[in-house]
Amino acid sequence: MALKTPNTHQGYQTGTPKSRAGKRDVPILDETLFRDLSEHVRSHPHRADLEASLWPGKVPGHNVLSYDRDFDPKGFYRYTFKPACNRAGLSGLHFHELRHTFATLALESRALTMYELSVAMGHESEAVTNKVYAHLRKRDYSAHRAAFSAHIAAAVAPVALLRSSVVRQ
């Protein structure tokens, strides 16, 4: 199925990506979302047409969605996304902020390395990804501290035995 690039301000953008990093695979990391999208594709009325739009479009003047209409990013943002955000108590949330949320959660969960996230985000370098996303939340170093402490504890025991045997001689 074709996934055209929507832009909520300008409609669909087609053509060559801005950079060579723009053409990429983006992993779906959430099992529930993966299952839901798989089911959506399996039940899509035009699933045999690889050029078919993945999402239905709104019929002008009606609250009806149809796969025979192109998906309208502006209409989706205005009539679906913003009202859903308002109902969820997230007034003022912008669609692009979901990209930042994904990046932050992918790093926090360690589902992707900085390099893998950089590739998935379409950044030219890890430095861009690191600069934009790595600082957003304080990092929990408790697991690192435990691993390092265990390593040091294991290393200190032989050193202590070695010292005691050297002192006796």
The 10s digit of each residue's pLDDT in 1-45 is 544 555 545 555 666 777 776 778 888 999 999 999 999 999 999
Nearest Cα neighbor of 115 from 129, 95, 97, 133 is: 129
Read off the pLDDT of residues 80-104 as tens digits, 9 standing for 90 and up: 899 999 999 999 999 989 998 899 8
Asked whether 119 and 108 are in contact (CB, 8 A), the reply is no
pLDDT at residue 62 in the model: 82
CB 8 within 8 A of CB 72: no
- Predicted local confidence at residue 8, as pLDDT: 47
The answer to pTM > 0.85 is no
Window from 51-55, 61-65, 144-148 with minimum mean pLDDT: 61-65
Exposed e or buried b per residue across 17-35, where buried means at least 16 C-beta atoms within 10 angstroms of its C-beta: eeeeeeeeeeeeeeeeeee
Per-residue pLDDT tens over the stretch 107-154: 888 899 999 999 999 888 899 998 888 776 677 788 889 999 998 888
